[in-house]
Amino acid sequence: MPAAAVVAAHQLGLTFPTADGDVVALSDVNLTIDKGEFVSFIGPSGCGKTTFLRTIADLERPTSGTLTVNGQTPEQARRSRAYGYVFQAPALYPWRTIEKNVALPLEIMGYGREQQAERIRRTLELVNLTGFEKRYPWQLSGGMQQRASIARALAFDADLLLMDEPFGALDEIVRDHLNSELLKLWDRTQKTICFVTHSIPEAVYLSTKIVVMSPRPGRVTDVIVSDLPRERPLDIRETPEFLAIAARVREGLRAGHSYEEAV
């Protein structure tokens, strides 16, 4: 394993015990993510995408196998503030205004007053929430809340970004915009990004690597390495190379899906 492996999972497994039996959320997951990669996770609802991200973030403890983050244990990585996390739900604190919510990680990590103000301004502008600084979360629409939570994760400089369906509640145009902003950011800063999405075009457009997962038990069924250039104008999405990759992802997704049989 090269020194550059940011995430390395080996035979990773995770089981939740519940009142009516165990749920195998992850089983035998083997995956290496190198520095600077943009990895998308795609798979049916309930297949373990969130669980995998949470395990990387040291929010869940694997029940088998090994996992290292930056060559360390997930806990060490978390303690060194190696990553920023965008949860699937916005998880804004209701007693803080939007700007205070974005300020939260900055306060915790000890940024100075002015730096805080500057970063809040910049990230809120990035997600197009300028003007909503003083609002409370319940005064925002669903998509705006989600954008605020993205701003919160981007406000500080983590080398690894874990994003769980960050753009799920956004319209196509904002989504396109944020997609290209995210790509620019990634290109500029050489961050490593793990990105959960349900949109195949989004996954293909953004990623250097696409991980297809399937449920019950959650496992990785396909890893597709994209050979699209790093420079990606939006209209790359109509090129045959793009469509070919998209087709392969769709294929993998369909194969791992329980639906076709079930319904």
Ligand X SMILES: Nc1ncnc2c1ncn2[C@@H]1O[C@H](COP(=O)(O)OP(=O)(O)OP(=O)(O)O)[C@@H](O)[C@H]1O
Binding site for Mg ion (CB under 5 A): 50, 88, 141-142
Residue 20 interacting entry, from ligand X, its own copies, other proteins, none, C-beta within 5 to 8 Å by type: its own copies
Instruction: Give, as ranges, the residues between 181 and 210 that touch its own copies (CB under 8 A).
Output: 198-200
**Whole-number minimum distance, CB 172 to its own copies, in Å?**
6
Interface with its own copies (CB under 8 A), residue from 36, 104, 168, 185? 168
Buried b (16+ CB within 10 A) or exposed e, 230-244: eebeeeeeeeeebee
The amino acid present at 134, given as its one-letter code, is K
Please give the angle made by the CA atoms of 98, 41 and 71, to the nearest 5 degrees. 90
Residue 128 interacting entry, from its own copies, ligand X, Mg ion, none, C-beta within 5 to 8 Å by type: its own copies
Helix ranges (DSSP H) in 68-214: 74-79, 98-108, 113-126, 142-154, 172-189, 200-206
Q: Measured from the CB atom, is 100 or 198 closer to Mg ion?
A: 198
CA atoms within 13 A on the CB side of 96: 16
Q: Measured from the CB atom, is 163 or 204 closer to other proteins?
A: 163
Dist. CA 200–CA 219, nearest whole Å: 18
Dist. CA 73–CA 60, nearest whole Å: 12
**Whole-number minimum distance, CB 84 to its own copies, in Å?**
19
Dist. CA 100–CA 94, nearest whole Å: 10
**CA distances from residue 220 to 20, 91, 136, 257, 258 in whole angstroms, order as listed:** 25, 28, 39, 12, 15
**Whole-number minimum distance, CB 88 to Mg ion, in Å?**
5
Interacting residues toward other proteins by CB under 8 A: 54, 57-59, 78-81, 83-85, 87, 89, 91, 93-97, 104-105, 107-109, 136, 138
Write out the residues near its own copies by the rule CB under 8 A: 16, 18-20, 23, 42-46, 49-51, 88-89, 128, 134-135, 139-144, 146-147, 164-165, 168-175, 177, 198-200, 250, 253-254, 257-259, 262-263
